[in-house]
Amino acid sequence: MRVLRILGLVVISAVTGVLSGTAAEAAPTAAAIVAAEALPSGAVTGRAGPAPAPMAAPALTAPVVSRVAGTPCRSTARACIELSSNRAWLISNGIVQYGPVPITHGREGWRTPPGTFAVTFKSLNHRSSLFNDAPMPYSVFFNGGIAFHQGSLTQESHGCIHLSRTAARTFFTALNGGDVVQVVT
């Protein structure tokens, strides 16, 4: 009987912890186990006895994610790209740190896809393995072979985000592996 009460309390604690979103609440404490012993017979096990008082379910709240003022991107982004206006920004803690700066992006057949990505690696003096060993200085890769890098601001790319030399250096210095890059149309 005691084991069933404790097991029932563990299940209730786990469900409560899942609903509230905290792992700490999912594990029963010693005080909770002692409190289970004080419950009327059958309160947790479903056997005859008085039913426990109904509990209100904890409110589920999603984290607040707002847009960064002056950009089309969310506050969780570290870098923001707006394809329709050919602009990019660096963001820190929901505040624009740098930009907007002009960019060019993927041409027909090589469009830069919108979405949310993470920086995977950086390469100071990268050269393209697909396009005739073309130089890609200050490369910051965030979507497979797509990267921010120094490039032409008059010609569209093969999917990469071209930046001026100054902007490419700034993005290269500021961004690190795992940083969120948001690309919007």
What is the rounded distance in angstroms from the CA atom of residue 124 to the CA atom of residue 141? 11
For residue 126, the number of C-alpha atoms closer than 13 Å in the C-beta half-sphere is: 24
Collect all residues with Cβ–Cβ distance below 8 Å to 132 and sequence separation of at least 6: none
Separation between Cα atoms, residue 129 and residue 127, nearest integer Å? 6
Q: Where are the alpha helices (DSSP H) in the chain?
A: 2-20, 23-26, 30-37, 165-174
Scanning the structure block, which residue is given the tokens 């930009």? Answer: 99
Provide Rg for the chain, Cα atoms.
27
**Catalytic residue, candidates 105, 126, 149, 162:** 149
Query: Is residue 105 annotated as a catalytic residue, yes or no?
Result: no
From 80, 126, 160, 162, the catalytic residue: 160
Catalytic residues: 149, 160
